[in-house]
Chains A and B, each alone.
Chain A
Amino acid sequence: MAAPRVTSGLQRVLLMLKNVHFKLGYRIVASRKQYSTVYDPNEKTFEKILIANRGEIACRIIKTCKKMGIKTVAVHSDVDSNAVHVKMADEAVCVGPAPTSKSYLNMDAIMEAIRKTRAEAVHPGYGFLSENKEFAKRLAAEGVTFIGPDTHAIQAMGDKIESKLIAKNAKVNTIPGFDGVVKDTDQAISIAREIGYPVMIKASAGGGGKGMRIAWNDEETREGFRFSSQEAASSFGDDRLLIEKFIDNPRHIEIQVLADKHGNALWLNERECSIQRRNQKVIEEAPSTFLDPNTRKQMGEQAVSLAKAVQYSSAGTVEFLVDSQRNFYFLEMNTRLQVEHPITECITGLDLVQEMIRIAKGYKLHQKQADIPIKGWAVESRVYAEDPYKSFGLPSIGRLSQYIEPLNLTNVRVDSGIKEGSDISIYYDPMISKLVTYGSTRAEALQRMVEALDSYVIRGVTHNISLLRDILIHPRFVKGDISTKFLPEVYPDGFKGHQLSDNGRRELLATAACLYVALQLRSRRFIGNQRVSTSHKEQNRWELSLKLDKDTHAVTVFSTGSLFTVELDGKRLNVTSEWNLASALLPVTIDGTQRTMQCLSRDASGNVSLQYLGTVFKIQVLNRKAADLNKHMPEKVPEDSGSILRSPMPGSVVAVSVKPGDMVSEGQEICVIEAMKMQNSMTAARTAKVKTVHCKAGDTVAEGDILIELGMD
């Protein structure tokens, strides 16, 4: 699309100047530096790299390229033409319409873009074409460097069955299971019985939790087989499945490896990724609290020997399941840059993207195994546009009407590919960003993460900050007592938001009351001669009634300037703040404790939504008189949720299995919604006759759309 903008020589000089700044400790950059891109101007590298990806990972790669003086080409779908990665890159090429199969997975268009822009190498990021051997082959055929491992390594490790065999041969611990492709449901059941329940059914070509189901009995095996093969087909275009023993209550710990084309391989320590929902990672940290140096070394060495066994080059990740006895089993190897690579960068100081580019160019690794440190502790939270109250996170979409990353804090890194005004669409992964914090100790890193989550402003889409923050302060997590079962164990009835302590409730109510008073005081402050009565002196005592959930609290606020004294539940609290009513953040000090709350909405009816400890609470604040009179107001009858099935997320209807007049029993599947390539079975809330069906297969539905109505009997 766009022609190269600046002559390469001049741009190179400019970039070098920028890098000098960087090395000298240019103020802002230096304070946010989590890895060092050691730029050696004498080491010849690629002129131009095309990034065959989008979003945060494309931005992440472009950043390193810029530091290395490499020109960048972004590819994008038409809906992404204003995306951040497109703006960041030196050139951009549109490779097709929104659906990934027509754009980011469209190899023909991407190959064409490479030819047009004369990019010498391609960085695939993660997902999309990153582990596609066909793509790597086509690049090789045209003499374009694939920044990743060689085709045979991708092939060997991409196939779960083959990879397991290779691992076994390389003396890597593996999980008992069936080493072959499962043909059909019946075979799946017989294999499952043989291995013994529970079993894991997963896509042979899979990754990222897609096409993966756990079965505890024959019935679940049957259902799991069906869903997994459909998901596998739509996600990877390959519906082959395999089955293995499911290790109950394990930890998911992975080893980052880095190998060059000269037979050198390093392990860059582990990442603890046990906090997962539906087999997708939520919070990762490095190092793991669980590993002792010995286990770490064993795992690292096995990972390296596996890498060597497939002549691996580039960055890769060997995933292990670790049981409570610190026995570890090889799970799979990801032959790409991993989503959670930043935490490894934080504790090792390496720039993995730079290393990948160097390795692809054929350079040897600078480091020896002994040079790889564990410096401090790093935590990563995956901030998603999803509703954590529904199965720990169902995708949500929308426009980011306000978006402010907490970069005012030190030791915070945010990898994102969106900005205020960006759309989170149904076409792509709903990740908003990876929020990474680090510190010299784990406690420091966790504390900073909590602060960063509190100061992170995301409006316009539902997000999972409430869940992330609640996990971070959970005693089990703080202790490091976690497993992949953490979420269902800690929240057996699903996540319902932060549960307030008495003290927490007081802090929340006091802040809501003070915010109300600050607003009331401000609403009399007309500037200039606005004929405001001067005979009434400013009110300084406020009798209020606050409603939170079903409970009503009588609160008295005394205001003197910006200091408010609050009386509630027989306690007195002093609340101070600047009361900047336009700011998205509401920093308050309550009896000396600093809290960063956020006011999401407020209206004239006294309703205020405050984000406190990550969770949004709805409070109604009324003066005592209004509250008294409010008693006479009629209760509006809420909708009967048992009779109406609404779409829990935006997506498309895959199948509707009932028609009006059908009898359905409680829990029976009545339709299937696909969103973000996950199929979700929607079930009847009770036994009833179907009254109306509002959707049909192929329909696109928005969150909250009525799908099916049940009759009263």
Chain B
Amino acid sequence: MAALATLRNASSLFGGYRFIYKNLVASRSHVWDSVQPNWNLQQRWYAVSHLSVQERIDKKREAARLGGGQARIDAQHKRGKLTARERVELLLDPDTFVEYDMFVEHRCSDFGMDSAQNKYPGDSVVTGQGRINGRLVYVFSQDFTVFGGSLSGAHAQKICKIMDQAVLVGAPVIGLNDSGGARIQEGVESLAGYADIFLRNVLVSGVVPQISLIMGPCAGGAVYSPALTDFTFMVKDTSYLFITGPDVVKSVTNEDVTQEELGGAKTHTAVSGVAHRAFENDVEALLNLREFFNFLPLSNKDPAPVMECHDPSDRLVPGLDTVVPFESTKAYDMLDIIHGIADERDFFEIMPNYAKNIVVGFARMNGRTVGIVGNQPKVASGCLDINSSVKGARFVRFCDAFNIPIITFVDVPGFLPGTAQEYGGIIRHGAKLLFAFAEATVPKITIITRKAYGGAYDVMSSKHLRGDVNYAWPSAEVAVMGAKGAVQIIFRGKENQAEAEAEYVETFANPFPAAVRGFVDDIIQPSSTRMRICRDLEVLVNKCQTNPWKKHANIPL
């Protein structure tokens, strides 16, 4: 009863407040201070007090929504960039964004920062949660119009808050980066803020997916937050990532380099491998991010998502029967195979322009997200080198962390020889891919399409590394090495090398040596590959495998 009475009181109070609010709206055009005395005459004091708070709330919210002001918003647009809020709106389902900490302000008082005009409600970042296609996600979006999006203690605190909550409820974190760097006026507080974020990036890693979309500058220490997240995407021509800018580079190393060359989207997607993909502009990037998000589970406790699928799981792919060329030296495009087997030919490739001799990305099989790894015979014969090993390893580990089955297509002639590779540490880096495949406990299906030579055969999700289902196409050749090299060793000094080669080919250049030992489970017709994978995934959906207890493994970094 008491509760009901309170409720009633509260509702009448609310009604009164509403009435007052109407008046307020009517007198909106007046300046706040000049309006206040009128209310004093008309209303009881406690109501006025509410009014005053409400007005302040509205004013603050309005100010927060305007960020650094209209002039800076226009400048942002002029650069071909959207504002922090526009980005969030576009990324999330309509009317689902719930903002946190709109009233947080920076706490710096040095250099005149405590003056009213240097206070912006919400400071230089917009944070909150919302939905992408109905699924929960936490977002922060740095606001370049407020102090160039620089990171204050308050800014960092806001980001940390949503990251903490994301872990509590198990939902991904998306960061939209557009920041000039540390708030210099705040000194060490800003640095502390970065570290707080880094720490969370690390702790959250493998718990919920973390995605960074770089939509403006991101320089100095700031770059390490995106670097710690699972995926880093960039916007072409308007985003930059570097530790030190061109000016500093010039003064230290005397190199002349532009921002774009040093840390633009092209550099990071093709040369450094820092970014996983780049998009034409803000709008495209955000729309693509929505699409990408649908591939991911919300946390490491959720299974890989399954979407409604119109593509029959038993669809035969006749084109695959002829995709591997007659001559074993001739290249073909692994993407032809991947597009052929994936639902609706839909494949979201990760790092399409970096280490192109390996292809990684997400697709769906009968609606379920899978990670696909494939050697690309079209580039450097699909050999494994330092970059492709690292690219593959990181992708495999992401899939394993988030319960995404891994489909591996193998056509690998081996590791790339040469001093550049050896000096660069191919042994150490190649071991990463081996490590990643070996420790992965998600369903692993492997298809050897052609060559599986040497150590690279072992590495590429072989039966020996706990592959659940390993298939060979009739064109498969599993051997220690190709015929030419092998013949020079086993038939050294034999006169008729061609005959020896033919003998070797007859013995090893086919799937039988692996099949008779059970190292491949079956030799399958290529056109039936999709059907087989879909069936196997259904079988493996409840796969449960655990590695021995450890604090953590020691991947050869």
Instruction: Enumerate chain A interface residues (CB-CB to B < 8 A).
Output: 78-79, 81-82, 399-403, 419-423, 522-528, 530-533, 536, 539, 580-583, 603-606, 622, 625-626, 629-630, 632-634, 636
Cβ-closest chain B residue relative to A525: B308
Partner of A625, one of B89, B96, B131: B89
Assuming A531-B302, A629-B86, is B320 touching A421 (CB within 8 A)?
Answer: yes
Asked if A632 and B80 sit within 8 Å, CB to CB, the answer is yes
In the complex, besides A401-B319, A403-B319, A531-B298, 8 extra interface pairs with C-beta distance below 8 angstroms are A421-B321, A421-B323, A523-B133, A530-B302, A531-B302, A604-B287, A606-B287, A629-B86
Q: Mark B269-283, 1 if CB is under 8 A from A, else 0.
A: 000000000011111
**Complex CA–CA separation, A54 to B136 (angstroms):** 58
A524 to B81, CA, bound (A): 28
From known contacts A419-B318, A421-B321, infer whether A401 and B307 are also in contact, taking CB-CB under 8 Å: no
Query: Interface-forming stretch among B6-14, B338-346, B497-505?
Result: B338-346
Between A and B, 29 residue pairs with Cβ closer than 8 Å are A78-B327, A79-B326, A399-B323, A419-B318, A420-B319, A421-B318, A421-B320, A422-B322, A526-B133, A526-B305, A526-B307, A527-B308, A530-B302, A531-B298, A533-B96, A536-B134, A581-B344, A582-B310, A582-B312, A582-B343, A583-B310, A605-B279, A605-B287, A625-B94, A633-B283, A634-B80, A634-B238, A634-B281, A636-B280
Q: How far is the CA of A622 from the CA of B310 in the complex (A)?
A: 23
The reply on B77 being an interface residue by CB < 8 A is: yes
Determine the chain B residues whose CB is within 8 A of the CB of A626 once the complex forms. Answer: 90, 283, 287
Is B294's beta carbon under 8 Å from chain A?
yes
- For B284, the closest partner residue in chain A by CB is A605
Q: Please give, as numbers and ranges, the residues of chain B lying within 8 Å of A402 by CB-CB distance.
A: 319
Encode contact with A along B286-323: 1 for CB under 8 Å, 0 otherwise. Answer: 01101110100010001101111111100001111111
Query: Quick check: A632 and B306 within 8 Å, CB to CB?
Result: no
B93 nearest CB neighbor, chain A only? A536
CA of A526 to CA of B327, assembled, Å: 44
B-side contacts of A78, CB under 8 Å: 326-327
| CB under 8 Å from chain A, chain B span 482-509 | none
A579 and B237 alpha carbons, distance in the complex (Å)? 37
Bound-state CA distance A399–B322 (Å) is 10
Task: Judge whether B290 and A533 touch: CB under 8 Å.
Answer: no
Report chain A residues within 8 Å CB of B164: none
The answer to whether A399 touches B134 (Cβ under 8 A) is no
B82 touches A629 (CB 8 A): yes
Q: Is the CB of A533 within 8 A of B322?
A: no
Complex interface: chain B residues within 8 A of A582 (CB): 309-312, 343-344
Give A606's nearest chain B residue, CB to CB: B287
- Contact A523 B282, beta carbon cutoff 8 Å: no
CB-CB < 8 A to A82: which residues of B?
321-322, 326
Q: Which residues of B contact A (CB under 8 A)?
A: 77, 80-82, 86, 89-90, 93-94, 96, 131, 133-136, 237-238, 279-284, 287-288, 290-292, 294, 298, 302-303, 305-312, 317-323, 326-327, 336, 339-340, 343-345, 367
A354 and B315 alpha carbons, distance in the complex (Å): 37
A531 lies within 8 A of B319 (CB) = no
User: Cβ of B292: which chain A residues have Cβ within 8 Å of it?
Assistant: 604
Q: Which residues of B contact A606 (CB under 8 A)?
A: 287
Q: Which 10 A-B pairs have the closest CB atoms?
A: A421-B319, A604-B291, A582-B311, A634-B80, A582-B310, A525-B308, A532-B134, A633-B281, A421-B322, A420-B319
A527/B281 contact (C-beta < 8 A), A421-B318, A536-B131, A626-B90 known: no
A528 to B297 Cα, complex, angstroms: 12
Q: Which of A523, A525, A531, A625 contacts B136 (CB 8 A)?
A: A531
Residues of A within 8 A of B238 (CB): 634
B132 to chain A, nearest CB (A): 9
In the bound complex, what is the Cα–Cα distance between A634 and B287 (angstroms)?
17
Chain A min CB distance to B13 (Å): 27
Whose C-beta in chain B lies nearest to the C-beta of A578? B310
Instruction: Give the residue of A530, A580, A581, A622 whose beta carbon is less than 8 angstroms from that of B305.
Output: A530
Task: Name which residue of chain A comes closest to B237, CB basis.
Answer: A634
A630 touches B322 (CB 8 A): no
A528 to B340 Cα, complex, angstroms: 26
Kindly report which residue of chain B lies nearest to residue A579, judged by CB atoms: B310
Contacts of A530 in B (CB 8 A): 135, 298, 302, 305-306
Report the minimal beta-carbon distance from A385 to chain B, rounded to whole angstroms: 16
Whole-angstrom distance between the alpha carbons of A536 and B135 in the complex? 11
Question: B340 contacts which chain A residues (CB < 8 A)?
Answer: 401
What's the least CB distance linking A464 to chain B, in Å?
22
CA distance A399 to B330 in the complex (A): 15
Please name the residue on chain B nearest to A636 by beta carbon.
Answer: B280
Q: Which residue of A lies closest to B324 (CB)?
A: A82
Find chain B residues with CB under 8 A from A403 CB: 319
Q: In the complex, A582→B306 CA distance in Å?
A: 16
Chain A residues, CB < 8 A from B284: 604-605
The CB with the most chain B CB atoms within 10 A, among A401, A539, A583, is that of A401
In the bound complex, residues from chain A placing their C-beta under 8 Å from that of B82 are: 629, 632
Q: Across the interface, do B307 and A532 meet the contact criterion of CB distance under 8 Å?
A: no
Question: Among the listed A419, A421, A524, A605, which residue makes an inter-chain contact with B288, where contact means beta carbons less than 8 Å apart?
Answer: A605
Q: Which of A403, A525, A580 has the most CB of B within 10 A?
A: A525
Q: Give CA–CA (A536, B131) in the complex, Å.
A: 10
Which residues of A sit under 8 angstroms from B86, Cβ to Cβ? Answer: 629
Interface centre among B96, B135, B279, B283 (most CB of A within 10 A): B283
In the complex the two chains form, what is the Cα distance from A337 to B221 in whole Å? 75
Q: Which residues of B contact A79 (CB under 8 A)?
A: 326
Contacts of B307 in A (CB 8 A): 522-523, 525-527
Residues of A within 8 Å of B319, CB to CB, are 399-403, 420-421
Chain A contacts for B77, CB-based, 8 A: 632
Distance of A268 Cα from B276 Cα, bound (Å): 65
Distance of A440 Cα from B488 Cα, bound (Å): 70
State in angstroms the CA–CA spacing of A581 and B346 once bound together.
11
On chain A, the residues within 8 Å of B322 by CB distance are: 82, 421-423
A95 CB to closest chain B CB (Å) equals 15
CA distance A606 to B306 in the complex (A): 23
Q: In the complex, which residues of chain A have a beta carbon less than 8 angstroms from the beta carbon of B290?
A: 604
Cα of A421 to Cα of B291 in the assembled complex, Å = 29
| Docked-complex contact B131 and A533, CB < 8 angstroms | yes
Minimal beta-carbon separation of B456 from chain A (angstroms): 26
A625 and B326 form a contact (CB under 8 A): no
* Cα–Cα distance between A101 and B371 once the two chains are bound (Å): 46
Given the known interface contacts A530-B306, A629-B90, the answer about A420 and B326 at a Cβ–Cβ threshold of 8 Å is no
Partner of B96, one of A399, A536, A583, A603: A536
- A580-B310 contact given A421-B319, A606-B287, CB 8 Å threshold: yes
Q: Chain B's nearest CB lies how many Å from the CB of A282? A: 28
Q: A629-B82, A629-B283 are in contact. Are A523 and B298 (CB under 8 A)?
A: no
Chain A residues with CB under 8 Å of B131's CB are 533, 536
State the CA gap A632–B79 with chains docked (Å): 8
CA distance A400 to B291 in the complex (A): 27
B302 surroundings in chain A (CB, below 8 A): 530-531
- Tell me the complex Cα distance, A604–B283, Å: 10
Most chain A CB within 10 A, of B134, B135, B136, B282, is at B134
CB of B367 within 8 A of CB of A633, answer no
In the assembled complex, the Cα of A507 lies from the Cα of B340 at a distance in Å of: 31
B283 proximity list for chain A (CB < 8 A) = 605, 622, 626, 629-630, 633
B318 neighbours in A (Cβ, 8 Å): 419-421
Whether B136 contacts A526 by the Cβ 8 Å rule is: no
How far is B131's CA from A82's CA once the two chains are assembled, in angstroms? 50
State the Cβ distance, A158 to closest chain B Cβ, in Å: 35
B496 to chain A, nearest CB (A): 24
Q: Contacts A420-B318, A633-B282 given; indicate if A526 touches B309 (C-beta within 8 A).
A: no
Chain B residues positioned under 8 Å from A423 (CB to CB): 322
B294 touches A523 (CB 8 A): yes
- Residues from chain B with a CB closer than 8 A to the CB of A525 are 307-308
